[in-house]
Homo-oligomer: A and B are copies of this chain.
Amino acid sequence: MKLAGYGEDRLVSELTRALATDENVRVGVGDDCAVIGPRSAKMWQLLKTDCLVEGVHFSPDADPKKIGWKAMARALSDLAAMGGLPRYALVTIGAPPSENVSRLKAIYAGLKLAARRFDLRIVGGETSRAPALFLAVTLTGEVERARCVTRSGGRAGDLLYVTGKLGGSIRGRHLDFTPRLAEARWLTENFRLRAMMDLSDGLGADLPRLARASGVGFEIFENKIPRHRGCTVRDAIRDGEDYELLFSISPRDGVGLESRWQKKFPKLDLTRIGKLTNRKSKIENRKSNGFDHFA
């Protein structure tokens, strides 16, 4: 059987079935980051790896500095989704012998720029020959135990929020977005979030993942989904690469959230797009609402 049409989530779930774990694995495969540490530790370590492939995540004529930025920012977006702070990065670059050294240097400058901007240190990596350019970035981070937010904490009745606007990322935003680290840190400092993830494959693919991880369903007010200019609702649900935060919060804990957000981040939308419900929402069963890497 070929990978095409097999389904990325199915593949991952089959590959990683029955993985061994230990007493310090707080969260393993299946969330935005792995979370490691003794149950009662004050700080937990976050581990995240991600990759960028030419022709898949960027086109050959993309600004190389932005390629590097994106490679780092994608993994940072996952740290943000757990409420974490970045610490260290390892960067692997695979490239064909015909690759231009100056392009690689510009890509690395983009990696360094993102590292500086978000206060993390590149401490290692690897280089290899490869048929096409790819980057693999691994980050370590930290999060206070009390502020660590997973995908699986959502409960029926929670309000669902997204930051920013969705859709149309392919027109350029996917190469120079800002991972929502500051926003996530402010949220976990001031509010008790129940579940959170970053939107990388599109709301239509990612929200069902959050709901499944939490064992609940969801209801979305489609006309409330914040859209970038020129985007339809369908675009906002399916395009992907938004790198915005999707989170749930209980109605009681969410009191004052919208007004305080607006004061703190006046330039960035925060929109209530629906709620978590008891299991088996209709929308959850709709197919192909987002990006599948192998479809």
Give A contacts to B, CB under 8 Å: 1-4, 6, 8, 11-12, 14-16, 19-22, 25, 28-29, 33-34, 36, 47-51, 53, 55-57, 87-88, 90-102, 104-105, 108, 112, 115-116, 121-132, 134, 136, 138, 140, 293-294
Minimum CB distance partner of A108 in chain B: B15
Asked whether A121 lies within 8 Å of B90 as measured between CB atoms, the reply is no
A207 to chain B, nearest CB (A): 20
**Number of copies of this chain in the oligomer?**
2
Asked whether B1 lies within 8 Å of A102 as measured between CB atoms, the reply is yes
Task: Find A138's partner among B90, B94, B98 (CB 8 Å cutoff).
Answer: B90
Q: A2 and B100 in contact (CB under 8 A), knowing A121-B22, A124-B33?
A: yes
Asked whether B92 lies within 8 Å of A126 as measured between CB atoms, the reply is no
Q: Please report the C-alpha to C-alpha distance between residue A4 and residue B95 in the assembled complex, in whole angstroms.
A: 10
Asked whether A92 lies within 8 Å of B36 as measured between CB atoms, the reply is no
Task: Find A56's partner among B115, B129, B294 (CB 8 Å cutoff).
Answer: B129
Minimum CB distance partner of A14 in chain B: B105
Asked whether B123 lies within 8 Å of A25 as measured between CB atoms, the reply is yes
Asked whether B4 lies within 8 Å of A98 as measured between CB atoms, the reply is yes
Instruction: Given contacts A28-B122, A131-B132, list 12 more A-B pairs with CB under 8 A.
Output: A3-B99, A14-B105, A15-B104, A19-B123, A34-B90, A34-B124, A47-B123, A49-B124, A49-B126, A51-B128, A56-B128, A129-B294
Asked whether B15 lies within 8 Å of A49 as measured between CB atoms, the reply is no
Task: Find A3's partner among B96, B134, B294 (CB 8 Å cutoff).
Answer: B96
A174 to chain B, nearest CB (A): 14
